[in-house]
Structure 1
Amino acid sequence: MSFLPDFKLETYFSRWEFNTKYNLCASDTESLSLEYLLDLSDDKDKKSLEEIKFGYLETYGSTELREAISSTYNNSSYKDILTFAGAEEGIYVAMKSILSKKDHAIVITPNYQSAQTLPTSICDVTAINLDSENNWNLDIQKIKDSLQPNTLLISINFPHNPTGKVISKSELNDIVNISRENNLYLFSDEIYRLMERDENKRLDQISDIYDKGISLNGMSKTYGMPGIRIGWISCKDHSLLDKMEKLKHYLSICNSTPNEILSIIALKYRSKIIERSRKIIKNNLVKLNSFFQKYDNLFEWKEPDGGCIGFPKYNGPEGVEVFCENLIKEKSVLLLPSSVYNSNLINSPNNHFRIGYGRLNMPEGLSQLKNFIDKN
């Protein structure tokens, strides 16, 4: 049995996320309150909350929740949906259900650690870094060159964590064609979808356009409900979904009943919730762009294509690790240094850090960052 390495990002957050005043690297949008959701709700929605019974649910998720989720796709039914206790469980179950020791996988990096450490714990993996010197572009030829006779899966994530990069539609089609020609699964983490700067650049959801496409999403980011712990996979391969469901029996078994009901209500009013998230991001980016323009001697920054996080470079002499450490000590402001994205598979580009701009208090944290720089 291969043991998983320490989850550096989550370990870092365990130490600092709730022990600093300003989380300036948060990867989510401003969390919804129950009051906000109830204000959107009609009498039928409120009655469904009042009538909740705290019993077990189907492992797949209730039909009502799966129908609500499938309505967010262009070409899906509830039978294509398997729900999880958060998107992270979906990553774990998918990789464990698809890959075996004899296989090979290709993973786009840097990324959320489990997307690379989970397949690496199972089989051989080739990592392909986005180009930090060229607007985080993806070299499609590197994917082709990395193919092996036993390659079974390609894993992608756009809008990208942590850079916010969105590849072009033609590049996505190239990846789909590579997957189709080689009979590969294409795992697509789409958790930051719907937060693109330009909606014309929004990519299709993989499960809508490829029969071996696996779309991962959840309530945590765009919908501002990370504490609900509801994620899902959309996939047309029902035999694979059945295999994943059997593995889920060893994990969460089923979702929380109140969380399913709250997710159903939120998805019903998703257009208003998404508009709220996008407005916060738009307002924060005005301030963030102005900040980086003022301090362009210290930072390299380009507004991300999508999502609510970015990955600027720090050019100060002490390096990003010391910079982030001193910022915590002096101003109680949390940024995420690029070393957290390093793994045994590949290193993240040096001296970058993750910054988040999806929360309402981002301007306050940014003001503290400015004070720290001016003082030092």
Structure 2
Amino acid sequence: MSAIPVFKLEEYLTRYEFSAKHLLCCSDAQSFSLSEILEIASPEDKKLWDNLSFKYTEPYGHPLLRERIASSLYPGLSANHILCFAGAEEGIFSALSVICENDDHVIVMTPCYQSLTELPKSKGALVTELVLKEEEEWRINLNEIKNAITAKTKCIIINFPHNPTGQIIDQEELTELVKLCDKHNIWLFSDEVYRLLGTPKKAWAQPAACLYNKALSLGVMSKSFGMPGLRIGWIACQDEALIHKMKLLKDYLSICNSAPAEIISLISLQNKDLILKRNNTIVQENLRLLDVFLKEYQHLFEWVKPQGGCVGFIKYKSSESVDVFCDRLVEEKSVLLMPASIYDHDSNHFRIGYGRKDMPECLDKLEEFLTHENH
């Protein structure tokens, strides 16, 4: 394995996330308190919590948690098709480390979370990055994927709802992609951490793992459910042999998950509809406010309105570099945005987050900054 470069996004957040007062680039939905989750627990789940001990937990994940993940999110799959991790990043690391080998060819949709490109490279794979285009509304381009496939293509990596643009993949597009992967015997790694959060124009596409026996669907409690502090993620896959290979690598990483976090996740998934309804209400209201804001400042900003997740990619239309703009904003108003350079995307865009209740306050501070600029 070759050296892995600095993770730009995580280093950027390390620098600013806990010092800036107004986080306007966050990628998670509004969180919950422990008491709020325990209040909605069923008597059976509450008993699990009350009788909790701090012993080691099962390496694959709590059996009841894996069953609930499968039954509530992946129709037709069972607990045997779920492997739990300490967050989504450990799942990405384990899956791509197991699938990708030296001299493989991997296709990745970019811009994306950095580990989706860097981990295959670290294993010696040749990575083809297919850049999503704003003029195509950031949608997946299946013809580009077809043209990029070679005899050595081992895996295609997608991320929908997309971070940072908020674009989705619809059922027709995903079905065609699965057919393409099946034709060439290619693994499909589908980062779906924002699935079920947002307001897509069409119905949500099915999880990739439910459609294809060589697809992996990545999920997590952090994003749509707004519980990143739990550090509970998972991969769903029909291939139980691959599940076991990833578990063998997990033995060198976290080994097992946090016992309290597993039970809180279990309770939350039992109340999935309630939690997602609240978070989607916040997202919809914040999107309404952003529509008003972007209309007022259309001379400075524009975007392709997101359909999924709680982040969007806004173009800064000034001649000023977006990196300079973001630096001045955080220094003068303590408002944090995320410039496109963090994604190695050569543009004047920035990521904005709208999943939290305090977004209106953050937006007000951004507007104060812009108003002062005009005087």
TM-score, scaled relative to structure 1:
0.97
Contact 1:95-1:118 at 8 Å conserved across structures: yes
- Pick from 210, 230, 233 the counterpart of residue 231 of structure 1: 233
Contact 1:132-1:349 at 8 Å conserved across structures: no
Contact 2:338-2:352 at 8 Å conserved across structures: yes
CA distance in 2, matches of 1:276, 1:167: 23
Question: Are positions 1:135 and 2:137 aligned together?
Answer: yes
CA distance in 1, matches of 2:140, 2:233: 27
Residue 134 of structure 1 and its aligned partner are, at CA, apart by: 2.6
Q: Partner residue of 2:254? A: 252
Q: Partner residue of 1:209? A: 211
Q: Partner residue of 2:354? A: 357
Any residues of structure 2 matched to 1:100-139 within 5 Å, and which? 100-122=101-123, 123-139=125-141
Q: Partner residue of 1:97? A: 98
Q: Partner residue of 1:345? A: none
Give the direction of change, closer, same or farther, for the CA distance of 1:60–1:199 in structure 2 (3 Å limit). Answer: farther
Any residues of structure 2 matched to 1:122-201 within 5 Å, and which? 122=123, 123-198=125-200, 200-201=202-203
Which runs of 5 or more residues in structure 1 are unaligned?
343-347
Q: Which amino acid aligns with 1:351?
A: N
SS of match in other structure, 1:216 = strand
Question: Are positions 1:45 and 2:45 aligned together?
Answer: yes
Residue 199 of structure 1 and its aligned partner are, at CA, apart by: 6.5
Q: Which amino acid aligns with 1:96?
A: S
Q: Partner residue of 1:273? A: 275
Q: Partner residue of 1:3? A: 3
Residue 196 of structure 1 and its aligned partner are, at CA, apart by: 3.1
Contact 1:86-1:231 at 8 Å conserved across structures: yes
Q: Partner residue of 1:18? A: 18
Residue 43 of structure 1 and its aligned partner are, at CA, apart by: 3.0
Shift >6 Å, 4+ stretches = none
Question: Are positions 1:373 and 2:362 aligned together?
Answer: no
Q: What percent of counterpart residues are identical?
A: 47
* Bigger Cα displacement from structure 2, 163-172 vs 4-13: 163-172
Indicate the RMSD between aligned Cα atoms, in angstroms: 1.0
Any residues of structure 2 matched to 1:328-347 within 5 Å, and which? 328-342=330-344
Aligned residues: 371
CA distance in 1, matches of 2:180, 2:346: 27
Q: Partner residue of 2:60? A: 60
Cα-to-partner distance string for 1:337-364 (whole Å, 9 max, x where unaligned): 000001xxxxx14110000000000000
Contact 2:174-2:208 at 8 Å conserved across structures: no
CA distance in 1, matches of 2:101, 2:60: 23
CA distance in 2, matches of 1:79, 1:112: 28
Residue 168 of structure 1 and its aligned partner are, at CA, apart by: 2.9
Q: Which amino acid aligns with 1:116?
A: T
- Pick from 288, 299, 302 the counterpart of residue 300 of structure 1: 302
Cα-to-partner distance string for 1:288-315 (whole Å, 9 max, x where unaligned): 1100110000011232011100001001
CA distance in 2, matches of 1:134, 1:60: 40
Contact 2:198-2:284 at 8 Å conserved across structures: no
Contact 1:287-1:363 at 8 Å conserved across structures: yes
Cα-to-partner distance string for 1:251-304 (whole Å, 9 max, x where unaligned): 000001000011001111111000010001011111111001100000112320
TM-score, scaled relative to structure 2:
0.97
Q: Which amino acid aligns with 1:244?
A: M
CA distance in 1, matches of 2:83, 2:45: 23
Q: Which amino acid aligns with 1:324?
A: C
CA distance in 2, matches of 1:44, 1:152: 44
Q: Partner residue of 2:220? A: 218
Residue 148 of structure 1 and its aligned partner are, at CA, apart by: 1.1
CA distance in 1, matches of 2:53, 2:141: 51
Give the direction of change, closer, same or farther, for the CA distance of 1:61–1:199 in structure 2 (3 Å limit). Answer: farther
